[in-house]
């Protein structure tokens, strides 16, 4: 039977073994939980915490040791300076993994200037007479560059106040961006001017009156709508048309500036047509002025040498139409509906009758 002394010794050995096992386990835990330095650190706030730069920081994790870099930027920190800051808070035995420096990046949300401008244009479109957002040109009272916000600002840019004065062309727009944190939303305000523009056909060179416009004479540019008005001529319409007046380089083409090209040129030999019921007579003539279809021009009858007025009805063709004649007129010989084959002396008499009987049309429209 075991004596009391033997029992006491056995119990003592058991206690020593348990203590040794506990110490060994604690040593293993301490080894596994040793702080380890991170090579790359990212932060979302304006402070760098101990828990940001090392793993296994323990109770010291929430202690701030540095100010974070500017929004959206990255800074480098020498390892010896990091260790000095950690020792000041009793954090020792850090495994540096032979690093010489660590990088610290502050996350941010970046709003590009083009996206800001597009958001303002969408807020202003169709307001107080403005057109589509794509046609608006914005200027800012202060130069707008890319903006960096705290990464927690994840919401969309929502316009909460939009004002536009059509007389001064000034705008004032305020946006709100929601925040993931308990902090209130971020507000951004922009002011400046908004001008609506349109695509216009612009002369690349000066043109003279009655000059035909060629494709190389026209370029497409955006111009303020208030400057060019609403009567703009498109490029397709302008090319091949004739200028009604002299126009300078850089001028926007309008429909009122254009006319169809002259079908009759000044001093051109033309066919002078006299037509009435049952009569169609053609005689050679000389145009004394140019004109397009529908214009009234003066023509010299080359047989009678008299000047008559007629309407341009085709290329190199001027027509005189008879009207009721009040005074008795000599009987005309019968002719067919096609070109007359009467003698030259009779043809001259017919043209003279037509010239005397027809009232003088209005001058050519410029």
Q: Where are the domains of the chain?
A: 36-106, 108-260, 269-324+333-357
Q: State pLDDT tens for residues 168-220.
A: 999 999 999 998 876 789 999 999 999 999 999 999 999 998 888 999 999 99
Closest CA to 238 of 206, 270, 280, 203: 203
The CATH number of 108-260 is 3.90.1210.10
Distance in angstroms (rounded) separating the CA atoms of residues 214 and 205: 11
Number of Cβ within 10 Å of residue 19's Cβ equals: 10
pLDDT at 277: 83
Q: State pLDDT tens for residues 79-89.
A: 999 999 999 99
Closest CA to 295 of 282, 313, 280, 283: 313
Task: Name the region of 111 (left: φ>0; alpha: ψ -120 to 50; beta: rest).
Answer: beta
Distance in angstroms (rounded) separating the CA atoms of residues 145 and 159: 19
pLDDT at 6: 62
The list of the chain residues with pLDDT below 50 reads 1, 25, 27-32, 324-366
pLDDT at 190: 97
The CATH number of 269-324+333-357 is 2.30.30.760
CB 247 within 8 A of CB 257: yes
CB 229 within 8 A of CB 251: no
55 bridge partner residues: 36
**Percent helix, percent strand, percent coil in the chain, to nearest 5:** 25, 35, 40
HSE-CB at 237 with a 13 A cutoff on CA atoms is 14
Distance in angstroms (rounded) separating the CA atoms of residues 24 and 188: 60
């Amino acid at each position: 039977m075991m004596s009391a002394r033997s029992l006491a010794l056995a119990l003592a050995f058991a206690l020593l073994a348990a203590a040794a096992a506990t110490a060994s386990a604690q040593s293993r835990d301490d080894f596994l939980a040793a702080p380890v330095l991170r090579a790359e650190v990212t932060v979302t706030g304006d402070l760098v915490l101990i828990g940001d730069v090392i793993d296994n920081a323990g109770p010291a994790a929430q202690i701030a040791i540095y100010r974070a870099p500017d929004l959206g930027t990255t800074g480098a920190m020498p390892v010896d300076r990091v260790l000095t800051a950690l020792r000041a808070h009793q954090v020792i035995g850090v495994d540096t993994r032979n690093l010489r420096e660590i990088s610290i990046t502050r996350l941010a949300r970046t709003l590009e200037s083009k996206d800001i401008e597009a958001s303002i244009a969408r807020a202003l479109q169709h307001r107080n007479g403005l057109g589509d957002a794509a046609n608006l040109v914005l200027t800012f009272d202060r130069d707008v560059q890319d903006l960096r916000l705290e990464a927690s600002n994840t919401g969309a840019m929502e316009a909460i106040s939009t004002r536009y004065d059509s007389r001064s062309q000034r705008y004032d727009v305020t946006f709100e961006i929601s925040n993931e944190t308990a902090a209130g939303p971020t507000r951004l305000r922009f002011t400046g001017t908004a001008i609506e523009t349109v695509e216009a056909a612009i002369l690349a060179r000066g043109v003279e009156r009655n000059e035909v416009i060629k494709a190389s004479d026209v370029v497409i540019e955006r111009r303020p709508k208030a400057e060019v008005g609403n009567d703009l001529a498109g490029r397709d319409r302008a090319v091949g048309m004739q200028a009604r007046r002299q126009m300078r380089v850089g001028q926007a083409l309008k429909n009122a500036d254009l006319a169809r090209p002259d079908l009759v040129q000044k001093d051109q030999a033309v066919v002078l047509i006299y037509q009435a019921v049952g009569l169609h007579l053609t005689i050679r003539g000389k145009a004394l002025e140019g004109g397009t279809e529908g214009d009234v021009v003066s023509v010299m009858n080359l047989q009678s040498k008299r000047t008559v007025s007629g309407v341009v009805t085709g290329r190199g063709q001027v027509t005189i139409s008879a009207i009721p004649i009040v005074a008795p007129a000599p009987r005309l010989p019968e002719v067919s509906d096609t070109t007359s084959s009467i003698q030259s002396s009779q043809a001259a008499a017919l043209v003279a009758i037509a010239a005397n009987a027809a009232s003088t049309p209005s001058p050519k429209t410029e």
